[in-house]
Amino acid sequence: MTSYAEFHQRSLTDRDAFWGEQAQLVDWKVPPQQICDYSNPPFAKWFVGGTTNLCHNAVDRHLASRSDQAALIFVSTETNQEKVFSFKELHAEVQRMAAVLKDLGVQKGDRVLIYMPMIPEAAFAMLACTRIGAIHSVVFGGFASGSLASRIEDAEPKVVVSADAGSRGSKPVPYKPLLDEALRLSKYKPEAVLLVDRGLSPMDLVAGRDHLWAALRDKHLDTVVDCEWVDATHPSYTLYTSGTTGKPKGVQRDTGGYCVALAASMKYIYAGNPGETYFSTSDIGWVVGHSYIIYGPLISGMATIMYEGLPTRPDGGIWWSLVEKYKVTVMFSAPTAVRVLKKQDPALLTKYDLSSLRALFLAGEPLDEPTAQWISAGLGKPIIDNYWQTETGWPILSLCNGVEEAVTKFGSPGKAVYGYDVKLLDDQTGEELTAPNQKGVIAVEGPLPPGCMQTVWRDDERFVNTYWKSVPGRLIYSTFDWGIRDPDGYFFILGRTDDVINVAGHRLGTREIEESIAAHPNIAEVAVVGVADQLKGQVAMAFAVLKNPDLVTDDASAKALEAEVFKMVDRDLGAVARPARVRFVSVLPKTRSGKCLRRAIVAVCEGRDPGDLTTMDDPAALQQIKDLVTA
């Protein structure tokens, strides 16, 4: 049996042979003529000369052997709906959507912007685009009109696909008014808008521009739309990175490389098998939703669960009930979601039959050790962290148990994944750090493996300058994350390089302070930010959510608990890392996808405008912080 170390090494030193073998995991109309063209660094072209189709590989190729097997499982605890689409039924729905898009003028290479809640039609639209060679650009549902307008201007979509509303806590979140305002603001005007009417919110239709999906679908119930075979290097989609300020930054993904990367990851990282069920709790607005709700599981012949709802409604056991009902074998979530579940009744973790579940994968932000230990003990299942980015499309660091079983180390996402030549570099000199436990910037030597971004949409110069020129004297891809590597080759993420604060000349990573505070037995979640200070330049401020809010009932109890936290940080990191204050809040301000709004917290602490908060989950959370810091 090949060891993982040998497997990884071969992916770097015998690159073309290695990826040529992985290319056999998917269907090609014309086989690749060249595996990797890296003649123009840092631009990598994978599987040159090959033609394929993402939708074919996700849907059509399974019809012969598993047409009646579940493919897409839609569950909404918001509208109390549940529907299972077989591969045959999914195939039919995708063809109907493809026919409608073609009727609206969409052709190969055109863009389609998708602004949708987590409903089946969103999946149909994504798959229909790749079926006909169109390029989809999904924008997270409910995004603010100004942000949506800037993405419409950048993508220049022929058609926008949307819906009357999403739902959050059984309350409608109207999308159409946000979309109408975005289209008014945008200098670019799409030719048509296709709308799914869920009956959640009234819509005003614009004559000649707006079309209802139900009416057009009925015209194409039996329409056959063949797959458009495209070059492996043909763009499949663009996805705008979250938190982008100014001009949007569209990550552009190819077709062939992405298809192969996902197929291989399902085999070697997630160990999912055809006929099984995959459950990712993410949203299609994020890269995880693209890779591991829609494309990855379907390419590997698995059923995929598309979930609309909160992890706590009707109670904190809803996800585990779905694992039991649909015999989920592989589950993918985020550390934030697990921290939310920490506040629920722990008995819910053992209420359901989870015998089908082989592992829970977590990604999206660093997974702190206390959270990993808590969910591991509660589920009694392997917890596998993995680290990646919108830009890479699939994991950079993980455990590839499909190659060789490896031990999980809590707090670490694992080792470098095959195909990634990961380095730790000194951010000042660009020197490679090879000794264990040295702190450096995590970087990847080119070429990036298949599936990673090709470029920034319509801006090659920005791609090079942003990602490849930040390390002095080297053309190397920077993740902009700090990390260390232990003697066994396991990486530990210490936070963003732009999350470094300078306290009286001392450079401190806010992530390291968060780790220390999160280890306190009474703290469920914490965010540490750097706030401007006249004396020290910056000081660290901590905002913590308690497992039991009754521990802090007055100023005296808050001060006592704060003193305990100070002692822990002093012990773990030294007094220099001690936050100026630890304030206790009921909830941290987050986006609806679960990302903590640290920049908004900093703005409030510094008395500045926190900016656009329309994607915020709970606006009262930021007000609570404002009240504390201004008291």
- 594: nearest Cα among 616, 627, 571, 626: 616
Q: Which residues contact 630 (CB under 8 A, 6 or more apart)?
A: none
pLDDT of residue 614: 65
- Which region among 159-168, 307-316, 376-385, 583-592 has the lowest average model confidence (pLDDT)? 583-592
Phi, psi of 538 (to 5 degrees): -145, 155
Q: Are residues 469 and 544 in the same domain?
A: no
Written as one string, the DSSP assignment of 386-438 is: -B--TTTSS-SEE--TTTS-----TT--BEEPTT-EEEEE-TTT--B--STT-
3-state secondary structure of 380: coil
Q: Same domain, yes or no, for 203 and 246?
A: yes
**Interatomic CA distance for residues 172 and 163, integer angstroms:** 11
pLDDT of residue 246: 56
Q: Which of 27, 90, 84, 89 is nearest to 61 (CA)?
A: 27
DSSP string, 478-529: EEEEEEEE-TTS-EEEEEEGGGEEEETTEEEEHHHHHHHHHTSTTEEEEEEE
Q: Are residues 415 and 553 in the same domain?
A: no
- In this structure, what is the dihedral angle of CA atoms 130, 135, 140, 144, given to the nearest 10 degrees? -150
Is the distance from CB of 454 to CB of 448 less than 8 angstroms? no
Q: Which of 76-85, 143-152, 468-477 has the lowest mean pLDDT?
A: 143-152
CA atoms of 460 and 43, how far apart (whole Å) = 9
Same domain as 512, residue 466: no
Range list of β-strands (E), 220-379: 230-231, 237-240, 250-253, 277-280, 303-308, 328-333, 359-362
Whether residue 360 is contained in a domain is answered as no
Q: HEC profile for 28-57? A: CCECCCEEEEEEECCEEEEEECCEECHHHH
pLDDT at residue 433 tops 70: yes
| pLDDT reported for residue 510 | 86
Q: Indicate whether 332 belongs to any domain.
A: no
Confidence of residue 318 (pLDDT cuts 50, 70, 90): very high
Query: What CATH number did the domain enclosing 622 receive?
Result: 3.30.300.30
Rounded CA-CA distance 159/309 in Å is: 27
Provide the β-strand partners of residue 193. Answer: 160, 210
Does 245 score more than 60 pLDDT?
no
Give the domain extent around 534. Answer: 504-630
For residue 503, the model assigns a pLDDT of: 78
pLDDT of residue 507: 66
DSSP 3-state assignment of 237?
strand
Q: Which two tokens stand for residue 97?
A: 């959507």
Query: Domain check: are 446 and 521 in the same one?
Result: no
* Structural domain contains residue 490: no
Examine the pLDDT at 243 and tell me if it is beyond 70: no
Are residues 472 and 513 located together in one domain of the fold? Answer: no
**287 three-state secondary structure:** helix
**C-beta of residue 117 within 8 angstroms of C-beta of residue 141:** yes
Whether residue 595 lies inside any domain: the answer is yes
Domain boundary among 481, 515, 530: 481
CATH, residue 215: 3.40.50.12780
- How many CA atoms are closer than 13 Å to the CA of 158, on its beta-carbon side? 17
Asked if residue 603 and residue 465 are part of one domain, the reply reads: no
The pTM (predicted TM-score) of the whole model is 0.87
Tell me whether residue 359 is in a domain.
Answer: no
Rounded distance between C-alpha atoms, residue 403 and residue 8, angstroms: 10
CB 556 within 8 A of CB 246: no
Contact 454, 254 (CB under 8 A): yes
| Residue 321 included in any domain | no
Q: Higher-confidence residue: 249 or 417?
A: 417
Among the listed ranges 253-267, 287-301, 523-537, 543-557, which one has the minimum average pLDDT value? 523-537
pLDDT reported for residue 335:
87
| Residue 78 pLDDT > 60 | yes
**pLDDT tier at 497, thresholds 50, 70, 90:** confident
Q: Which of 319, 341, 345, 342 is nearest to 332 (CA)?
A: 319
99 in the same domain as 136:
yes
Lowest mean pLDDT among 253-262, 358-367, 385-394, 415-424: 358-367
Q: Is residue 335 a part of any domain in this protein?
A: no
Query: What whole-number percentage of the chain has pLDDT above 70?
Result: 97
Q: What is the pLDDT of residues 444-464, one digit of tens each?
A: 999 999 999 999 999 999 999
On whether both 421 and 526 belong to a single domain, the answer is no
The answer to whether residues 523 and 457 belong to one domain is no
Number of domains into which the chain is organized: 2
Q: What is the pLDDT of residues 95-106, one digit of tens each?
A: 999 999 999 999
Report if residue 498 sits inside a domain: no
* Residue 478 pLDDT exceeds 70: yes
How far apart are the C-alpha atoms of 467 and 456, rounded to whole Å? Answer: 10
| pLDDT > 60? residue 273 | yes
If one compares 626 and 356, the residue with the highest pLDDT of the two is 356
- Provide the 10 A C-beta neighbour count for residue 201: 17
Domain match, 33 and 145 both: yes
Q: Return left, alpha or beta for 393; rule: phi > 0 is left, psi -120 to 50 is alpha, else beta.
A: left
**For range 518-522, the mean pLDDT:** 93
CA distance 566 to 539: 14
Q: How far is residue 113's CA from residue 380's CA, in Å, rounded to a whole number?
A: 41
Percent of the chain with pLDDT over 90: 78
* Residue 27 confidence class, pLDDT cut points 50, 70, 90: very high
At 110-131, the pLDDT tens digits run 999 999 999 999 999 999 999 9
Calculate the average pLDDT of the chain: 93
Residues 451 and 542 grouped into a single domain? no
Partners of 529 in beta bridges: 541
Q: How many Cα atoms sit within 13 Å of 36 on the Cβ side? A: 25
